[in-house]
């Protein structure tokens, strides 16, 4: 995480715009198996608020959290770099929240 971005992960779908000086952002994860759900924590879908960072974000046109107004997603070119470096959540071995570890 870059210094000064101050990410705060969401545990609910926002019902209003982010506070002044912050924006709502979600990751690149697309639902699998044809599911259209964008529930936080499902299939690795995450959202957070952070300070605006134009170099890292782009306006997202998806219909997730319409009550939050304009929201953003991580720029795809940054994701490709992270995958090459092996630094995405999927590559790091982290489990999505709420998923139990199986023996």
- 101 inside domain: no
Mean pLDDT of 51-70: 89
Mean per-residue pLDDT of the chain: 75
Instruction: Please check the confidence at residue 8 and state whether its pLDDT lies above 70.
Output: yes
For the stretch 38-72, what's the b/e string if a residue is b when 16 or more beta carbons lie within 10 angstroms of its beta carbon?
bebebebbbbbbbeeeeeebeebeeebbeebeebb
Distance (Å, whole) CA 79 – CA 56:
10
Tell me, yes or no, whether 2 lies in a domain.
Answer: no
Residue 14 located in a structural domain: yes
pLDDT at 75: 87
Q: Is residue 96 part of a domain?
A: no
Given a cut of 60, is residue 58 above it in pLDDT?
yes
Q: Is the residue at 95 inside a domain?
A: no
Residues 6 or more apart from 102 whose CB is under 8 A from it?
Answer: none
Tens of pLDDT, residues 85-101: 665 554 334 444 444 44
CA dihedral 88, 49, 8, 89 (to 10 degrees): -10
Domain of residue 58 covers 8-88
The domain tally of the chain equals 1
pLDDT over 90 for what percent of the chain?
28
């Amino acid at each position: 995480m870059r210094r000064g971005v101050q990410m705060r992960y969401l545990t609910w779908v926002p019902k209003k715009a982010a506070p002044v000086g912050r924006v709502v952002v979600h990751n690149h994860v697309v639902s699998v198996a044809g599911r259209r759900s964008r529930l936080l924590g499902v299939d690795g879908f995450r959202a957070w608020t952070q300070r605006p960072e134009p170099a890292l974000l782009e306006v997202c046109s998806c219909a997730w959290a319409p009550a939050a107004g304009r929201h953003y997603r991580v720029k795809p070119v940054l994701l490709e770099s992270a995958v090459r470096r092996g630094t995405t959540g999927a590559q790091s071995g982290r489990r999505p929240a709420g998923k139990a570890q199986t023996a």
